[in-house]
Structure 1
Amino acid sequence: MGINEINMGLYYDPKILEEKIENTEDDKALREACSEFESIFLAKMFKEMRNTVPQGGLIERSTAMDIFEEMYIDELSKEIAKKDGGLGIAQMLYQQFKKGYISW
């Protein structure tokens, strides 16, 4: 076994590649993008759920209230996505994209 074969074995070892990827800025950016996607997904889901609730009640609806609810849902979605791994969508996306990145 020559030195080149040893070097190639280290270069293509999946565990070593995974460690290199986890230590890069790209890994951090990928995690942030996946978390942001989960947040956007949750916000869209909550807004659609809110649209199914019949309008009416004691308080009259206004544009300001609609804007406030939109902002509240956006912030709530961000917090849910960050806390305790969220729904797990971000983690699943991260693992799937990371597998594709390692196989290059």
Structure 2
Amino acid sequence: MRIDDFDMAEPTALLHRKLQGAKENKDDEALKRVCQDFESIFLNIMLKEMQKTVPEDGFIEKGTGTKIFEEMYLEELSQEMARKDDGLGIAKMLYEQFKSENIIL
């Protein structure tokens, strides 16, 4: 799989490429992973927006390293949430929708 700078800046571009690969290879497991990746991206955006609502008290100053760590933590957390116990159910719903309408496979 080819990964370029655009894929790193725009995770949905990489997701689209994976979806096309699942379609071309008629790979059921790849489709499930793509749906989970979508849910992970959704959760990551949601968690970042939620974090913005937490007031910064100034007691401990946040440097660049802390901000990078928090972003990495939220990304890992969102991936774990999407894969554990069917996540929010978005991935399962997307997968079933794609399968029932034969959109992908």
TM (normalized to structure 1)? 0.71
Instruction: Give the corresponding residue for 2:79.
Output: 78
Ranked by relative contact order (alpha carbons within 8 Å, sequence separation 6 or more), the top structure is 1
Q: Report the Cα distance in structure 2 between the residues aligned to 1:76 and 1:53, rounded to whole angstroms.
A: 17
Q: Which amino acid aligns with 1:37?
A: F
Identity %: 59
Q: Report the Cα distance in structure 1 between the residues aligned to 2:26 and 2:98, rounded to whole angstroms.
A: 15
Give structure 1 stretches of 5+ with no counterpart.
Answer: 1-23
Give structure 2 stretches of 5+ with no counterpart.
Answer: 1-24
State the 4+ residue runs in structure 1 displaced beyond 4 angstroms.
Answer: none
Instruction: Give the corresponding residue for 1:90.
Output: 91
Greater radius of gyration (CA): 1
Report the aligned-residue RMSD.
1.8
Q: Tell me by how many angstroms 1:25 deviates.
A: 5.2
SS of alignment partner, residue 27 of structure 2: helix
